[in-house]
Amino acid sequence: MQMNGGQALIKSLEMEGVEVIFGLPGGAILPVYDPIIDSPIRHVLVRHEQGAGHMAEGYAHVTGRPGVAMVTSGPAATNIVTPLADAFMDSVPMVVITGQVGSASIGTDAFQEVDTVGITRSITKHNELVTDAADIPRVIREAFHIATTGRPGPVLVDIPKDIVDPTNPRSAMEWYWPETVDLPGYRPTTVGHHRKIREAAELIGRSRRPVIYAGGGILKARAAEALRELAELTGIHVVTTLMARGAFPDSHELALGMPGMHGTYTAITAMQESDLLIALGSRFDDRVTGKLDGFAPDAKIIHVDIDPAELGKVRRPDVPIVGDCRLVIEELVGVLREMGGAESQPDRSEWRSRISGWQERFPLTYEPSEPGELLKPQYVLEQLRDAPTTPEDTIVISGVGQHQMWTSQYWRFDHPYTWVNSGGLGTMGFSVPAAIGAKVGRPDRTVWAIDGDGCFQMTAQELVTAAAERIPVKVAILNNAYLGMVRQWQEMFYEERYSEVYLSPDLPDYKMWAEAMGCVGMRVESPEEVPAAIEKANSINDRPVVIDFRTDAREKVFPMVPAGATNSQVVVDPTQQGQAR
């Protein structure tokens, strides 16, 4: 069948099962937008290309399927660089298609020309400039294969205008669809080495103070059930990193919560004093380890990761295992059962007692507001979490900063794929567009974006997209009128010299701004107003809702491991600082 490159591109996306594209047209990609009219694929027209990328990420986070974004050349391509870097850091499967100037103009500084492949080489799992229309089906097939296999990640396909323009003879091609993908040299190792898995089982059997250190790789590998089986078989406690929240139920008796700079005291300390860390799909991020040479000094390491480059990159493992987390955990469970199962595990009652003591003495805590004071952000999150109208499986998306840490701390994640955030890159402005993408991917779920006032101002215009497309996300702005996390650092480490962090509580007027974007806008200033506002927001399903919660700027995130300190130097809430550790 004869067709042009633009038609072939859209048909290739249909063959990959793509349901939705987040994008914004422009001159170089214009020929591809024409066949979209005749395609069943939904297109969500964004207001800024960065929004398209984060929407694709949010969609991928909650569905497990690759998100797709499409933009034009030049500034559109550079605008989507941030989501690409974000997806690369957090291993999010995504396919981004960028228009490029015509082949003859490449390298001439033509209008809206940039070297997109060159710019994105280090922040994509793979990228490619297509030079022949006949290659389009093969390249798209390979792009989805690479994005979703091995360690997931973003793939960029850059397409010159002439090979998709039906008026150009270079776009003519004979349609075909490759049945298989042949990529010599690209063969991710999914099955772990049996001898290493047995070594891991033996090490677990000798450990008295083990901790499972679960990372985002658990979710990418669909390994939440296997993780739970491993934990319950061995009785070993589990910490879930910022990227792994939901991979293990917070309500489980073996759950310790989040480790790291703003993790729970128990999670941080249990890792630090363990004699074995079973690292599953985690990458020893500096926000988890603190000062590296002081991190978990007595712990041996079992490290499982599908990316061999992660093994030994930060901390040398005693038992390295390359492989898919789910497959490795399932085999590890099998070996442990062969070795006697739960009955063969050593007596760890003393370790459990120590952990229980830390949990009793150092729970998450904050001082409630006094009458007439502004709201405490933790209180808002508790009310939102516990509201009778908030479903237990609500999907929560956060921006980056204090509100991100409080949300991770105070929400209760009992289901996988209900927490979406920017972990590695820490992208302010992530929340609103990612929430829109998540709601498109899971229209059956309630989706709340928890944002800071600084973050919200970066990408709030995408609520126009949500209103126009009837995507009813809900946004809670924890408005403390500051760049809160920077303010906290300036207060703690710069002698309260607050430099360029004040934003104003009233500029802009968030309620009016929300209403101008087609949303329902509300403002809440006292604790008594919080439940009713949440109930009203949860009842609205025909348009987006934005609530401006006026919160106390003096509130800080505790616990905290200061930058450059070891995890043994964790700073707890002021009310707990006299407690014996």
**Active site amino acids:** 49, 111-112, 161, 485
H or E element at residue 467: helix 462-468
- DSSP states along 114-152: --HHHHHGGGSSEEEE---GGGHHHHHHHHHHHHHSSS-
Round to whole Å and give the CA distance between 445 and 438: 9
Helix, strand, or coil (residue 185): coil
Helix, strand, or coil (residue 209): coil
Beta-sheet strands, E only, within 288-445: 300-305, 319-322, 395-398, 419-420
Both tokens assigned to 513: 């701004």
Residues 306, 151: contact at Cβ < 8 Å? yes
- DSSP states along 261-301: TTS-HHHHHHHHT-SEEEEES----HHHHSSGGGSSTT-EE
Q: Using CA atoms of 410, 415, 416, 419 in order, give the dihedral in degrees to the nearest 10.
A: -30
Round to whole Å and give the CA distance between 178 and 15: 10
Round to whole Å and give the CA distance between 120 and 539: 42
Round to whole Å and give the CA distance between 278 and 414: 21
Round to whole Å and give the CA distance between 56 and 461: 17
- Enumerate residues 6+ apart whose C-beta is below 8 A from 298: 209, 273, 274, 275
Round to whole Å and give the CA distance between 289 and 272: 9
Both tokens assigned to 182: 């042949």
Length of the chain: 581
**Chain centroid to CA 557: how far?**
20
Residues 134, 107: contact at Cβ < 8 Å? no
Round to whole Å and give the CA distance between 341 and 333: 8
H or E element at residue 222: none
Phi, psi of 473 (to 5 degrees): -80, 160
- Enumerate residues 6+ apart whose C-beta is below 8 A from 485: 401, 402, 405, 557
Helix, strand, or coil (residue 336): helix
Round to whole Å and give the CA distance between 399 and 562: 21
Residues paired with 24 in a beta bridge: 71
Closest CA to 425 of 115, 81, 67: 81
Residues 282, 215: contact at Cβ < 8 Å? yes
